[in-house]
Amino acid sequence: MLSTETLKEGISKYTPTWVVIPVVYLIGFLSVVLLVICLPLVPIYYSALCIGAWFFLPRFGKDVLVVSNGKADAEPWLSQITPMVKERALFLNYEEHQNWKRWSLSVMLFHAFGPSAKPASFIKYTLPAVLLMRRFRLPTQYSFGEHALDKQTKLDELKAALGSTPD
């Protein structure tokens, strides 16, 4: 295994200092330039996803994304949510997330606007989740998992939002 001492010795032995210092500064400068160039692309990506959801999902009569973890402990909430949204929802099962199509609009919407957990292995504790896509607004997320707080209030808010959303 390469230790710090071995690395320092190898650099000092085979590479002159006058070469190492400019290379380190160049790498640092290029990293900052790359960050400045790429950072504005994140909001552009999120905006493109919203625009895609606004214009493509309503064509199929869908404006809701429901993601479940496929476990029985989520059933009480799913049994209340599913009848409200069954005609206008896309359903994803998180247990099958390894098989999801990576470039599918619904999968990209979930990754961008769905519940996020740190570490990612905790995402199953935030499911089931509902994403409501309303035209010219950011998607609204409602989470009903084990770690979600005030689930009944969220369910009431979801009912009100679904009632005010045109079909």
> pLDDT tens, 87-146?
888 888 888 888 888 888 888 888 888 887 777 777 777 788 888 888 888 888 888 877
Is the per-residue pLDDT at 167 higher than 60?
no
Residue 164, pLDDT score: 66
Q: Look up the domain containing 91 and give its range.
A: 41-164
Single out the residue of 156, 149, 131, 134 nearest to residue 80, CA to CA: 156
Do the Cβ atoms of 134 and 126 come closer than 8 Å?
no
110 shares its domain with 137: yes
Same domain, 71 and 147: yes
Task: Please state, for a pLDDT cut of 90, what percent of the chain lies above it.
Answer: 9
Q: How many helices (H) and strands (E) does the chain have?
A: 6, 4
pTM for this predicted structure: 0.71
Tell me: do 71 and 119 sit in the same domain. yes
9 and 88 inside one domain: no
Give the span between the Cα atoms of 101 and 122, in whole angstroms: 21
Regarding whether 91 and 10 lie in a shared domain, the answer is no
Give the total number of structural domains in the chain. 2
- Identify whether residues 32 and 103 lie together within a single domain: no
53, 116: one domain: yes
30 and 92 in a single domain? The answer is no
